[in-house]
Structure 1
């Protein structure tokens, strides 16, 4: 009996040793479905949005790719653009119904229509294609002039030292900024004078994020920070240290830097000194 107990004890010990020496990790469920953090960013869609705790009008405009002034105007929000958790914001302006000209109502007499038709036939029609090209060219020229004038008022600086590992892409699902790589703890600097309009981590995919408003046209965003060193409504000067480089919600250490002109993403390399 004693020999049987000793043999049984040896078998149990051998089993425990085998279990403890197993090197193969337990299977883990793939929660990301193969998508990167940048692909997982939540974009605001739909015609309205319910404000969550920690969000600002600027961060909501940032996520929906809209100008904060447009959102403020649509929702009747005046400066300093204060919003509250639970508040419902309309993201799109209401479509105005177009009224038909009186001359084309059912009450119009046949003689009136005939006179209008004869008058229209005397006018030399313009080439629709050339007219459209002219309008588009003029609009594009005016936009470029406004962008240049607004940007000239700012003096831009690089937000961090390091290597540009990823560049801006204008494609629909492209990278909407540049990625500057360096070691953890590298200083993150304000790219120009401005005021902090968002500082937090409520925007999924951006980690610890800072958004700085430079004027009514330009915003800059600094994502994946290790530490945030500024607060909302704080004024900052160009090259002031506002954060340290990290990898919050990112696979590697680096700064994701974005420039927005009236709510739209633009290539930061167009503004930064060479």
Structure 2
């Protein structure tokens, strides 16, 4: 290699090194964001929505007022009041649940006030029409099927340690996911465990949802503890309770699993008036 070629080679190397340093200097000095790929498939689906305040939702089979409120960031009492649903808060498939002002209320709010015009309403009978039945063929009365109202056998109740706020850990295991308050990913905590490991009620209450209708939660149990608090237990393998059942703190309500996620774990949430709160602020210190 001639002297001229050597000089050109060194010059090109210097230019490349300077460009590399400039590229490094242009990067932000703050911490680099790390994405946990093991959680993206589940938590991206389970992102907590800020309270939906417009539009409506059509009730699907298996929905409850509590599960709809949980899904769309509402306090169940407020959602019931918005839709004029009174106790025992029964909803039916196809029913419209309004998040904003119902159309009738909205139209009434913008209608100008007009003098009332007396209108004579026709008399409408509230009784169903009576069909005549031939005397030779007496009417046949079909009996409704008898449905057992006996609740499932109560699960085992373990002796657990409760915090000063009355809450107990829903399962033993390593804490692998903490609450996030920035509105992005985790609105509860995640506890690792073994397949089939008991999941316990974190406080006394009533089961208001037991099913798999909420995307990203797998087999899910929601318990109402008071007019203020509900708790949720997701990704179970098997549910041991049904809606309407009373449970005690420490009672077995499910078996830990991996439904709706990529590993065996329990996703646990506490919501206060519909808003997620950090469960670690309510559970006993370990």
TM range (shorter): 0.5 to 0.7
Unpaired segments of 5 or more residues in structure 1?
1-33, 99-151
Tell me the secondary structure at the aligned position of residue 53 of structure 1: coil
How many angstroms apart in 2 are the aligned matches of 1:252 and 1:222?
Answer: 15
TM-score scaled by structure 1? 0.65
User: Which of 48, 59, 63 is equivalent to 1:51?
Assistant: 59
Q: Counterpart in 1 of 2:45?
A: 40
> Structure 1 segments of 4 or more deviating over 2 A?
41-46, 92-98
Aligned to 1:87: 95
- Tell me the TM-score normalized by structure 2: 0.62
**How many equivalent residue pairs?**
188
> Any conservation in 1 of the 2:44–2:185 contact (CA below 8 Å)?
no
1:70 deviation in Å? 0.7
**1:218 offset after TM fit, Å?**
0.2
Native 8 Å contact 1:154 1:193 kept in 2? no
* Shift, 1:165, TM fit: 0.3
Distance 1:261 1:215 in 2: 10
The alpha carbon displacement at 1:92 in A equals 2.5
Tell me: CA distance 1:262–1:93, structure 2 relative to 1, closer, same or farther (3 Å): farther
For 1:97 and 1:201, locate their aligned partners in 2 and report how far apart those are by CA, in whole Å: 39
| Aligned residues of 2:62 and 2:213 also touching (Cα < 8 A) | yes
1:44-123 → structure 2 map (5 Å cutoff): 46-93=54-101
CA distance 1:242–1:227, change in 2 (3 Å):
same
Which residue number corresponds to residue 265 of structure 1? 276
Does the 8 Å contact 1:38/1:206 carry over to 2? no
Report how far residue 37 of structure 1 moved.
2.0
Structure 2 gaps of 5+ residues are 1-38, 111-162
Greater helix percent: which structure? 1
